[in-house]
Amino acid sequence: MLDKSTVIGFTLGFSLIFLAIITQGSVLVFASFAAILIVGGGIIAATMINYSFENIKTSFAAILSMIGAKDVDLRTDMELLSMFARRVRSDGVLVLDSDIQHIEDPYLKNGLQLLVDGFKKESLDSILRDEIKSRERQIDTSINVMYSMADYAPAFGMIGTVIGMVLMLQNISDPESLGAGLSVALITTLYGTILANMFFGPLAGKLEYLSELDLNRKEMFRTGINSILEGENPRIMEKKMLIHVDPKSRAEYIKYHEGIRISKERDERFYKLWIEQQNKEWDDLKRVLETG
Amino acid sequence: MLDKSTVIGFTLGFSLIFLAIITQGSVLVFASFAAILIVGGGIIAATMINYSFENIKTSFAAILSMIGAKDVDLRTDMELLSMFARRVRSDGVLVLDSDIQHIEDPYLKNGLQLLVDGFKKESLDSILRDEIKSRERQIDTSINVMYSMADYAPAFGMIGTVIGMVLMLQNISDPESLGAGLSVALITTLYGTILANMFFGPLAGKLEYLSELDLNRKEMFRTGINSILEGENPRIMEKKMLIHVDPKSRAEYIKYHEGIRISKERDERFYKLWIEQQNKEWDDLKRVLETG
Amino acid sequence: MLDKSTVIGFTLGFSLIFLAIITQGSVLVFASFAAILIVGGGIIAATMINYSFENIKTSFAAILSMIGAKDVDLRTDMELLSMFARRVRSDGVLVLDSDIQHIEDPYLKNGLQLLVDGFKKESLDSILRDEIKSRERQIDTSINVMYSMADYAPAFGMIGTVIGMVLMLQNISDPESLGAGLSVALITTLYGTILANMFFGPLAGKLEYLSELDLNRKEMFRTGINSILEGENPRIMEKKMLIHVDPKSRAEYIKYHEGIRISKERDERFYKLWIEQQNKEWDDLKRVLETG
Amino acid sequence: MLDKSTVIGFTLGFSLIFLAIITQGSVLVFASFAAILIVGGGIIAATMINYSFENIKTSFAAILSMIGAKDVDLRTDMELLSMFARRVRSDGVLVLDSDIQHIEDPYLKNGLQLLVDGFKKESLDSILRDEIKSRERQIDTSINVMYSMADYAPAFGMIGTVIGMVLMLQNISDPESLGAGLSVALITTLYGTILANMFFGPLAGKLEYLSELDLNRKEMFRTGINSILEGENPRIMEKKMLIHVDPKSRAEYIKYHEGIRISKERDERFYKLWIEQQNKEWDDLKRVLETG
Amino acid sequence: MLDKSTVIGFTLGFSLIFLAIITQGSVLVFASFAAILIVGGGIIAATMINYSFENIKTSFAAILSMIGAKDVDLRTDMELLSMFARRVRSDGVLVLDSDIQHIEDPYLKNGLQLLVDGFKKESLDSILRDEIKSRERQIDTSINVMYSMADYAPAFGMIGTVIGMVLMLQNISDPESLGAGLSVALITTLYGTILANMFFGPLAGKLEYLSELDLNRKEMFRTGINSILEGENPRIMEKKMLIHVDPKSRAEYIKYHEGIRISKERDERFYKLWIEQQNKEWDDLKRVLETG
């Protein structure tokens, strides 16, 4: 499912600019192949020098994958980890061995694998921690690539405009051609500013925002895995994991769990559901779990 | 109660701009639906790409709730926590069990609940700490949304102006129409600058400022809860909590407490008052407590 | 005593701008009540939304109090703390009880009071540390208020100019009125730039600079109080405190103390002097102490 | 092998600017020896005052050496360190003594030398850590030199333009010469902007990016050397080192190592290969190792 | 010896600007006493408000002293500290007592004095650490003063230009005088930009760069003094100190010391040399030490 607000944002933004243009004049005035070439090409060229073409691709791939990612409700993850914790408390850590293959998220999968493999608390936690750091470093590069493009965009817009102005001022014959020349010269500035503020800038921001959510989820997994390893009481584990959940969902989760009793049957039902069909919405999950 | 300075600030600022306009010309010159569309719409579009529509709503809701919040005097909170500390020292921690439901602030409520539930010092403090961090992270997103809008505002103002200038320069016939065209083109710049410096920027700053006050209050609660858990002398607890109070209120508090004696009767009076009617102003509270 | 360099700076700066104007034209051209209203009012309005009117007052009060503060020589403080240390080493910590009321600085006063009250090293140091942090947080708000005003100043200058330009371009009749109109429109930009660079900006910087000196002094007090509590050798205590003194004063202090011997009589003379008359200049102090 | 994306970026960028110019006018208009002198000379002069000529040379040398460096696949390094670990586990640390001379990378070489010399864990790790910090500090100077040049470039472009404008406005006779004069004055602005955004800026960014990769590789070496010193299980060592590898290569490495068995013969084959011919591509290495 | 690159940079930069002017017009056009007054005076005034006149003097003194400082080769310092370490290992720490008076650098002198005075490891190291921090704080003020001046320079350039433009636009009679007026108004902008980018900015950068070198040297001294105190093997001490040396000098130092043997006679020769004549260049030192 595509990230709706990104799509709506792009549609709204470009429609408005388009509207602003056609109500006052012709779109043709603003369509300039030369301007596209100098602004678009300049941004790509500078970014290639700054990073590498590989990085630009990775950056856009990161945005596409994040925008297209299924929406994850942390509460579903919490239910899952709680169930795992209860399973481990009753049957030992090796019971997870067969479950791991059903897990989609590579971070959680790897973490539980290490748990089953019998890693000690300290090694395990330092590996989990470093993996988050490493992931952060990699996504940070993609974010920086995007922000660099947002910085280069108005600069190449200005370069195009200065080139246009130098040429125009060189051969002034009549003041009217001067206006038209300046008009053309300003188009690259317009392109640069729009690209920076409607494309690269907001996308870099989105990538940064989504990566924070992603790292937060990983932190929650780390909390849970550590709790399972230490055999902590599932209630305390939940308290600790809830800190990573946003306030509204947290309140709902707490209220819901105050109302129900975790029975062995419920856990079995949940386990079967989970094996069959992953990543159910939490609201569906709740309904199915209670009604049986 | 609405935050007075925000309301006065808005009234003052927009009145001045309005005044500056009507004394020199007609307001009609500045009212442009197209300009509203391109600047306002552009800001919303870019922010939707950058975050999500949900975030924009949360950000404004955060401002509204903070601006409309009742003014909290940290000294009232200190009196309350001191009383709790004395109650726990004489009757044990379970005495708080019935008090908790009367507490309004969710952070304090949750912290004291954990205390009653018998959490150990280390777990308790790490949960309290993480909750502050988690709250900070959530409000930081709202602050960043607001600051992003303040950044996008002048950019879309400039985009509107450049579009206007390109169109105007394209069809110069007489120099007079040129002036009028530029005049219209500049209106989006005006809108963008006003929105950034009279609306989004100051509101982002306000949100940041109020959230600091809020986090400071939570830190004071954390200090108090830890003190109660450790059974620290209430006098030392007060010294530690006072650090979160601003210097003027602190001086008043110290002076007041040098003058009075905390008797059992006073505490009982206070307890009754508190159950009946929450969040009294400190100045009222003092008067009522002493006069009985 | 007023901070001389602030006064000289203001006098010099505004005289120069005044001079630049009257040698080239008339001051009347630059005196615009409307411009004062839009720039000054706009700054105040935006800052009120961003913070509160209370904060603006506190910020200016902080500047006034700091600028008007008596110049403090850290060496006088060092002599005092050294004497206290020697008194405590010979007569025990309770000897300070009567001295505390003669101390002016609230931080030192409170710290020594805690010492006399028998606080343990760890609690004492954490309170002293937190108080510095709390003071830093409060003064930081004032500094940020001032910097915000410096940021808003050119923005409202620009808003005024854009309003003026829109109105002027609207009704062009002859090119000469155009010049005059632009001239008037530019005055708000001038006001905004001058306010940012001759008033709010440098004052924010001054506040930041003076608060650093103040925090440094508090850190020196903390070092000294900790030393007294641990009963450290006064010579080591001096070495540690000297780190907070600027290099020139430090060299002088060291040289002076290499030349003199700290006798009991000298200490008594100093104690008497200190009770009678606080905050003597170090150079005077030295002279009086040696000549008896 | 030259860094391809840098070369392509430069070629693309300058071709586009060249194209933009020749399609609209003559290149001769933009070729100005005076503009080169004032912008290029000004940048060098300011950077020499700011740093030293030595630093400018080091900065460019750093870029050249990094851009020209052979591409290093961290997986080849991992295979090597794993083999070393197995050698040390079976034959003791002194077995590395003869290997060290074959190592190219000075950091790894020095680290293993310290290992053989019998340094204790703590000293060894603190030396390895400090060396990374020291390397970081040195490369940071080069990066800052480059960023300073990117900052000075548009400033000297502007200085050139203002000088040109002052002179041009001084002797206005006819409006046409005014246009030509402004046209010439703008050329330094164009030079400054292009140098900042197509040369110094992206190169500074590249240096920063490549130095991060380099430090990451050193961190991986440090992890490996510490693991060998502690005699850790090579599998755990691999887990830890893999954190420094980018996700795609990591996945490939893990998959490959799940499919093969590390036999004594394979290690001997690898050792022989490594002595004979360093820095093979990982893909080649894999093929050769398996096929024998 | 003056810092050569600073001198060459200034000469080159100002010559280029001078050249750019005289090839296109007359220097007289650019010589404006009023412009010097408003830009130079404004910068000084604002900086005096922001800091104090004392700070401005200290800042320039810091630059002069650093630029004029004798070039220090860290390798000479390393040879010296190694010799001290060997002396202490054979004859005890008191042997340094007579050497200290020959040491020029106050930080090293003080550190060794504390060593001889028998300070314990922890106190000694914390004093050495704090002194570096204190030095850093003091030089940071000077750096900030310089950067503030670089920030104020273009602001006062702009203030001058806006004043000029307001006056010029006020009394337009003929378009030619308009050009001349604008030309004069732009001169303050030129002054401000040149001062920021050819004087204050690069000097602030230089001060920052040189202070980093200075702090690095102090850190090396701290490492050495700690090593001597702990009686560490001089070879390990060298390894640790070398981390502060730049890579090229480090390589040379290592290579040189692999080739020679440290004999008692060499040390005595070195000691005699050092007493007689301080701060010899390392290259000279090497030659003299080996040839005897």
Contacts of E179 (CB under 8 A, 6+ apart): D169, D170, D172, D178
Q: Is B166 near chain A, with CB under 8 Å?
A: yes
Farthest CA pair distance, chain A: 91
Judged by DSSP in three states, B246 sits in coil
Question: Considering just the CA atoms, what is the radius of gyration of chain C in Å?
Answer: 27
> Hey, of B243, B248, B255, which one would you mutate to test binding to chain C, going by the most C CBs within 10 A of its CB?
B243
| Residue scoring higher pLDDT (C67 or E140) | E140
Q: Is C211 near chain B, with CB under 8 Å?
A: no
Contacts of D91 (CB under 8 A, 6+ apart): none
For B135, list phi and psi in degrees, rounded to 5: -60, -45
Specify which of A190-204, D105-119, D239-253, E225-239 reaches the highest per-range mean pLDDT: A190-204
Residue B174 has what pLDDT?
Answer: 65
> Hey, of C49, C145, C156, which one would you mutate to test binding to chain B, going by the most B CBs within 10 A of its CB?
C49
Which residue shows structure tokens 């990566």?
A211
Confidence of residue C254 (pLDDT cuts 50, 70, 90): confident
Residue B1 has what pLDDT?
Answer: 47
d(CA E19, CA D41): 11
C-beta of residue D30 within 8 angstroms of C-beta of residue A170: no
Other beta carbons less than 10 A from residue C215's beta carbon: 17
Looking at every residue in chain E, the average pLDDT score rounds to 88
Structure tokens at B35: 């300009």
Question: Average of pLDDT values for D33-50?
Answer: 94
First and final CA of chain D: distance in angstroms? 28
Residue D1 has what pLDDT?
Answer: 47
Structure tokens at E187: 């001169």
C-beta of residue E81 within 8 angstroms of C-beta of residue E107: no
Amino acid at E142: S
Specify which of A77-81, A147-151, B98-102, E239-243 reaches the highest per-range mean pLDDT: A147-151
Amino acid at B4: K
Question: What is the four-CA torsion angle of D156, D161, D164, D166, rounded to 10 degrees?
Answer: -100
For residue A131, CA distances in Å to A109, A114, A120, A137 come to 13, 13, 17, 10
Q: Is C215 near chain B, with CB under 8 Å?
A: no
Question: Average of pLDDT values for C167-191?
Answer: 81
Residue C144 has what pLDDT?
Answer: 96
Q: Is C249 near chain E, with CB under 8 Å?
A: no
This model of the complex carries an ipTM of: 0.87
d(CA E39, CA E158): 9
Confidence of residue B141 (pLDDT cuts 50, 70, 90): very high
Question: Average of pLDDT values for A89-99?
Answer: 88
Over 70: is that where the pLDDT of B274 sits?
yes
**Helix count (H) and strand count (E) of chain A?**
12, 0
d(CA D124, CA D114): 7
Chain segment A96-154, per-residue pLDDT in tens? 988 888 888 889 999 999 999 888 888 889 889 988 998 899 899 999 999 999 999 99
Quote the Cα angle for B36-B40-B43, to 5°. Answer: 155
Over 90: is that where the pLDDT of A3 sits?
no
CB atoms E193 and D159 under 8 Å: yes
Residue B172 has what pLDDT?
Answer: 67
Question: Nearest Cβ partner of E5 from D48, D126, D160?
Answer: D48
First and final CA of chain A: distance in angstroms? 28
Specify which of C216-225, C249-258, E57-66, E267-276 reaches the highest per-range mean pLDDT: C216-225
Structure tokens at A101: 């293959």
CA atoms within 13 A on the CB side of A180: 10
Chain A positions touching D9 (Cβ under 8 A) are 44-50
Residue C140 has what pLDDT?
Answer: 94
Estimate the crossing angle of helix B247-259 against helix B234-242, to 10 degrees: 160
Chain segment E4-15, per-residue pLDDT in tens? 888 899 999 999
- Domains of chain C, by residue range, sit at 4-69+135-211, 74-127+214-291
pTM of the model: 0.91
Chain segment E134-193, per-residue pLDDT in tens? 889 989 999 999 999 999 999 999 999 999 999 888 876 666 677 778 888 999 999 999
Which residues of chain C from 48 to 67 reach within 8 Å of chain B, CB to CB? 48-55
Chain E positions touching C3 (Cβ under 8 A) are 52
For residue B286, CA distances in Å to B246, B257, B275 come to 18, 10, 16
Residue B289 has what pLDDT?
Answer: 77
C-beta of residue C94 within 8 angstroms of C-beta of residue C84: no
Q: Is A182 near chain D, with CB under 8 Å?
A: no
Confidence of residue A1 (pLDDT cuts 50, 70, 90): very low
d(CA E43, CA C198): 9
Q: Closest Cα to residue C47, out of B18, B214, B8, B190?
A: B8
Q: Closest Cα to residue C146, out of C67, C252, C73, C44?
A: C44
C-beta of residue C165 within 8 angstroms of C-beta of residue B186: yes
Structure tokens at A75: 């509460």
CA atoms within 13 A on the CB side of D180: 10
Residue length of chain A: 292
Chain C positions touching B8 (Cβ under 8 A) are 48, 53
Please name the residue of chain D whose CA is at the shortest distance from the CA of residue A134: D243
d(CA A218, CA A244): 10
Q: Is B179 near chain A, with CB under 8 Å?
A: no
CB atoms A170 and D180 under 8 Å: yes
Structure tokens at B153: 């505002």
CA of E40 to nearest chain C CA: how many angstroms apart?
10
Q: Is E144 near chain D, with CB under 8 Å?
A: no
Chain segment C187-211, per-residue pLDDT in tens? 999 999 999 999 999 999 999 999 9
For B115, list phi and psi in degrees, rounded to 5: -60, -50
Confidence of residue E228 (pLDDT cuts 50, 70, 90): very high
Other beta carbons less than 10 A from residue B225's beta carbon: 23
Q: Where are the beta strands (DSSP E) in E101-215?
A: none
Over 90: is that where the pLDDT of B202 sits?
yes
d(CA B37, CA A16): 7
Chain E positions touching C190 (Cβ under 8 A) are 159, 162-163, 166
For residue E213, CA distances in Å to E63, E207, E210 come to 14, 10, 5
C-beta of residue A164 within 8 angstroms of C-beta of residue A190: no
Q: Closest Cα to residue D79, out of D244, D277, D257, D243?
A: D257
